[in-house]
Chains A and B, each alone.
Chain A
Amino acid sequence: MSFLHIENINKAFGSDSIVKNLQLTLENNRTLSILGKSGCGKTTMLKIIAGLIKPDSGTIRLNNKTITEQPAAKRNIVYLYQEDLLFPHLTVFENIAFGLRIQKKSKDEIQDQVESMINSLELSGHKHKMPQQLSGGQRQRVSFGRAIITNPSLLLLDEPFGSLDSMTRQNMQSLFKSLAQQFHITSLFVTHDLKEALLMGDEIAYMDAGYLKVYKEKSDFMKDKSTGVLAEVEFWNGIASDLSSNFISS
């Protein structure tokens, strides 16, 4: 059986059905990108998997254990919010060390692991700073470090780079790719940015009006009209041909 196996998850708030018949499998150390417009049910789906919202029906299995009824604290799944939600009363060091302190690791172990994580995140020199003294990109890195250091079985990323400028976003994308490789992370990466979805995922899925469709191959995703890839390609082809004809005529 796959590392993450989700079957028939449904969730409605009142008469609004938000997640419909969710089926999903994911192997260990893989990242599944999930593309979807705002309000399509992505966040609710992630919160259900994290244990922060109870589903109406269905089962979630992680590493051969059914976790559907388990509280969030026991799932070893970390959900990363859209914004870099750092604990504002703790320094960078303490934010990253938070999960380890909860796990009651020894002082030396915490010191070593956090120092090494701070270096991996290229945040040396910032460890004593408070969150409000950091830039958006630095805050997001701390947020990653705090999640990854606990060695979660599954990392759920909810549009983590949505609030960053394009340059910082690119840097963060490559940083996440390298961290995912270095720490063998299994993750669901939700985004509404097509390019980001293609870049970040080993596999790809599209969510629309509560339904999730997982594609076997990235090429299948690209060929599917509903994902918007073809329209995007057409748009950029048009721009490219305009540019080249202007270039030739000038």
Chain B
Amino acid sequence: MRTKYQNIGLLFFAVLGIIPFALSFIYALLYSLGLVGVANSGFTIEHWQEILESGEFIKSFGFSAFMALIAMVFSVGIALWLTLLFHKKIQHKTISFLLYLPLALPGVVSAFFAVQILSKSGYFSRWFYQIGWIKDIQEFPDLINDDFGFGIILTFVSVVMPFFLLLFIGVFKTERIAELESLAASLGSRPNQIIRRITIPLLLHKTWPLIALYYIFLLGAYEIPLILGQESPQMLSVLIVRELKQFDLTKISEGYVVAVIYTVLVTIMTLFLFLRRKSIRIDG
């Protein structure tokens, strides 16, 4: 009976999850090779050459990877730090409710908040002007649509950090880390040794697949970099959509090239992540 339900579940997963994904991927691949699409007239690797030689994709991929990495390092780092300091207080109902709030905000709303707060005409700029720290709107630094992606990183962190904080607090409880810390103290560990050898490694050990998946998610984020990013380099999803929406129909094929490369890279990363997990479980 159980096997029957499992088979039905697998069938649903294949029909709803794998088949549409696979078909879309095949369509994108054929489009990128000139085999389908209104402006295409047969097999060509011209679009691939164009993308790989222009360097825009590499730049965009590097920029996306860097933005996602910095945002993850800050989010996980701050969440760990807050967990170590306040794990008992954060379990309080009101505080944990406040932490859930940012998780309910769509990315586009967070990005608009960031514009209202960080732009040259935003709240910070106005407050600084009122207290006399700046004399002109131009003196306020570029915090959105800037070269370093400051606005993107800050908004990513504001969305992702509460999630990891709640996750770490949950793991702290379920993995009985407080008791393991007492045990480590009883075995002679000093407080800093306990944090270095037990608390942080254990929290990361239990959550690293989610950290890696969130990294992949940020790599493909769209709304936040669309609103807060600059013209060039753009993050991958923004670049792909820009290419797909061009008036020049030949550019659509280039958009599909980027989408194919991005999909392959993300799939490899995900497979590596889960195959490694499996091998750890088997080999110990």
CB distance from A14 to the nearest CB of B (A): 18
- What does the 1/0 interface line of B200-211 toward A look like (CB < 8 Å)? 011001100000
Q: Across the two chains, which residue of chain A brings its CB closest to B186? A: A79
Taking the complex as formed, is B241 at the interface, i.e. its CB lies under 8 A from any CB of chain A?
Answer: no
Taking the complex as formed, is A133 at the interface, i.e. its CB lies under 8 A from any CB of chain B?
Answer: yes
How many interface contacts (CB-CB < 8 Å) are there between A and B? Answer: 64
Taking the complex as formed, is A103 at the interface, i.e. its CB lies under 8 A from any CB of chain B?
Answer: yes
Judge whether B201 and A89 touch: CB under 8 Å: yes
Q: Across the two chains, which residue of chain A brings its CB closest to B176? A: A85
State whether A85 and B180 are in contact (beta carbons under 8 Å apart), knowing that A102-B193, A129-B284 are contacts in the complex.
Answer: yes
State whether A76 and B188 are in contact (beta carbons under 8 Å apart), knowing that A89-B202, A129-B284 are contacts in the complex.
Answer: yes
Judge whether B284 and A72 touch: CB under 8 Å: no
Residues of B within 8 A of A102 (CB): 184, 187-189, 193, 197
Total number of B residues with any Cβ neighbor in A under 8 Å? 22
Judge whether B284 and A52 touch: CB under 8 Å: no
Contact of B198 among A76, A87, A128, A146 (CB under 8 A): A87
- What does the 1/0 interface line of A78-117 toward B look like (CB < 8 Å)? 1101000101110100000011011100000000000000
State whether A73 and B284 are in contact (beta carbons under 8 Å apart), knowing that A52-B182, A85-B179 are contacts in the complex.
Answer: no
Contact of A81 among B175, B179, B190 (CB under 8 A): B179
- What does the 1/0 interface line of A178-210 toward B look like (CB < 8 Å)? 000000000000000000000000000000000
The winner among B183, B184, B190 for most chain A CB atoms within 10 A is B183
Judge whether A73 and B176 touch: CB under 8 Å: no
State whether A98 and B284 are in contact (beta carbons under 8 Å apart), knowing that A52-B182, A87-B202, A88-B205 are contacts in the complex.
Answer: no
Taking the complex as formed, is A121 at the interface, i.e. its CB lies under 8 A from any CB of chain B?
Answer: no
Residues of A within 8 A of B201 (CB): 89
Contact of B188 among A73, A88, A89 (CB under 8 A): A73
Judge whether B186 and A77 touch: CB under 8 Å: yes
Taking the complex as formed, is B265 at the interface, i.e. its CB lies under 8 A from any CB of chain A?
Answer: no
Query: Which range contains the number of A residues in contact with the other chain?
Result: 20 to 34
State whether A50 and B186 are in contact (beta carbons under 8 Å apart), knowing that A85-B176, A87-B198, A129-B284 are contacts in the complex.
Answer: yes
Question: How far is it, in angstroms, between the C-alpha of A54 and the C-alpha of B5 when the chains are bound?
Answer: 55
CB distance from B258 to the nearest CB of A (A): 38
State whether A72 and B186 are in contact (beta carbons under 8 Å apart), knowing that A88-B202, A89-B205, A91-B284 are contacts in the complex.
Answer: yes
Taking the complex as formed, is A130 at the interface, i.e. its CB lies under 8 A from any CB of chain B?
Answer: yes
Question: How far is it, in angstroms, between the C-alpha of A51 and the C-alpha of B185 when the chains are bound?
Answer: 9
State whether A99 and B185 are in contact (beta carbons under 8 Å apart), knowing that A85-B176, A87-B202, A130-B284 are contacts in the complex.
Answer: no
Taking the complex as formed, is A118 at the interface, i.e. its CB lies under 8 A from any CB of chain B?
Answer: no
Residues of A within 8 A of B284 (CB): 91, 128-130, 133
Contact of B190 among A73, A87, A147 (CB under 8 A): A73
Residues of B within 8 A of A129 (CB): 284
Q: Across the two chains, which residue of chain B brings its CB closest to A101? A: B197
Residues of A within 8 A of B184 (CB): 87, 98, 102
Question: How far is it, in angstroms, between the C-alpha of A73 and the C-alpha of B189 when the chains are bound?
Answer: 6
Supplied contacts A87-B202, A102-B187, A146-B187, 7 more A-B pairs, CB within 8 Å: A73-B190, A81-B179, A85-B179, A89-B205, A91-B284, A102-B197, A150-B188
